[in-house]
Amino acid sequence: MSDLATTPLYDLHLELGARMVPFAGYSMPVQFDGIMAEHTRTREAAGLFDVSHMGQVILSGQDYATIAAGFETLVPVNAIGLAAGRQRYGLLTNALGGIEDDLMFANKGDHMLVVVNAACKADDIALMKAGLEPLGITVTEVTDRALIALQGPGAEPALSRLAPAAAEMRFMDVADLELEGVTCWVSRSGYTGEDGYEISVPEAQAEALARTLLDMDGVGPVGLGARDSLRLEAGLCLYNNDIGSTTTPVEAGLIWSIQKVRRAGGDREGGFPGAQVILPQIESGVPRTRVGLRPEGRAPMREGVVLFAEPEEGEAIGVITSGGFGPTVGGPVAMGYLPIDMAVPGTQVFGELRGKRLPLTVHTLPFVAANFKR
């Protein structure tokens, strides 16, 4: 643990009694007062997450349109058409159509703010530098700010006590808000399926802001354990589990993230890595796809469990990529990949667990409906 990086909230985590674990090169809290309690807190009130291990990157250049045009050479997303003060989900793809990372990017008027996954940030920044700096776009990693997420139905009333304008933001809006006397970069988004905000705050003021929020009724700390159960119930992908460099956006069920302007026949068709694989897949389909799965009984089936069509014989047909107990659902939930003809909700398959094949049922995603403020 001594070799791990720490976030600006590390000392606060220890003070609050967090159980710390290694994650993406950082010492991070996996839980404070229990995963079930923290999960429920986020669904019913408000949870505060430390996500400072994630990468924050600023892309700057002549103007936003120029930056966005360059960025579109790396992602199959409509960046040019993103309005100022708005954020969008995107994917970095490779030459074979696989996903190098998923990310969020925002039009901040004269620059773009990109947030990438912790485990991928060094590679992502190198990829962006290689692809964008020759086009006159400067890629700068933000190293002096923390990132915290306030999630749940109590997030709006809590944050709007500090900045009333927070209540007026819609899902995927971004704004600079004064919180406790310091300018924070705020987006109305998150990774839980609940309403909420992600807040980039100068690291020197991060602990004070976190304490102010935690002092509010209904707000409590949440660790990585509940973050995972929340995102799994919401049907959200975890990089290197549900998506990766050998998974295409179409296989992953992420076609919705590729706007029509970048698809076949669109005004800016293709022009991103792997377009020659991804665009035909959108038109013709794929042999496998990501699905939700409900194991029978109470025992979770986790990443790596092999899936079969029959209870006693036959070849493997797929694999679970994420799985665990869903506290809101009240039972085990999972995601994985199956052949397209087996991906119909209600289809029964079998997962091999400790030498036995146990039944699961294909389920629509998400398991818990999203609660975003549209």
3-state secondary structure at position 107: strand
Query: What integer best gives the mean pLDDT of the chain?
Result: 97
* C-beta of residue 291 within 8 angstroms of C-beta of residue 338: yes
3-state secondary structure at position 207: helix
Q: What is the pLDDT of residues 318-370, one digit of tens each?
A: 999 999 999 999 999 999 999 999 999 999 999 999 999 999 999 999 999 99
* C-beta of residue 319 within 8 angstroms of C-beta of residue 333: no
Q: Which domains does the chain carry?
A: 10-47+146-233 (3.30.1360.120), 287-374 (2.40.30.110)
pLDDT band at 57, cuts 50/70/90?
very high
Rounded-to-5 percentages of helix, strand, coil across the chain: 25, 35, 40
Structure tokens at 84: 């100022």
Over pLDDT 70: what percentage of the chain?
A: 99
- For residue 13, give the H/E element and its range: helix 10-15
Q: What is the pLDDT of residue 348?
A: 98
Report the residue count for the chain: 374
Residue 83 DSSP one-character state? P
* C-beta of residue 281 within 8 angstroms of C-beta of residue 250: yes
pLDDT band at 374, cuts 50/70/90?
confident
Q: What is the pLDDT of residues 66-95, one digit of tens each?
A: 999 999 999 999 999 999 999 999 999 999
Structure tokens at 40: 């429920």
Can you tell me the mean pLDDT for 281-308? 97
Residue 255 DSSP one-character state? G
3-state secondary structure at position 32: coil
Q: What is the pLDDT of residues 108-125, one digit of tens each?
A: 999 999 999 999 999 999
From CA 55, how far away is CA 246, in angstroms rounded?
A: 22
pLDDT band at 1, cuts 50/70/90?
low
Structure tokens at 196: 């909420």
Report CA Rg, the chain: 21
Can you tell me the mean pLDDT for 300-324? 97
Please say if the pLDDT value at position 287 is more than 90: yes
Which residues face 102 on adjacent strands? 91
The pTM of the whole model exceeds 0.95? yes
Residue with tokens 């776009």: 137
Q: What is the pLDDT of residue 173?
A: 98
pLDDT band at 302, cuts 50/70/90?
very high
* C-beta of residue 266 within 8 angstroms of C-beta of residue 282: no
Q: What is the pLDDT of residues 160-216, one digit of tens each?
A: 999 999 999 999 999 999 999 999 999 999 999 999 999 999 999 999 999 999 999
Structure tokens at 284: 């013709």
* C-beta of residue 282 within 8 angstroms of C-beta of residue 289: no
Structure tokens at 122: 């060094």
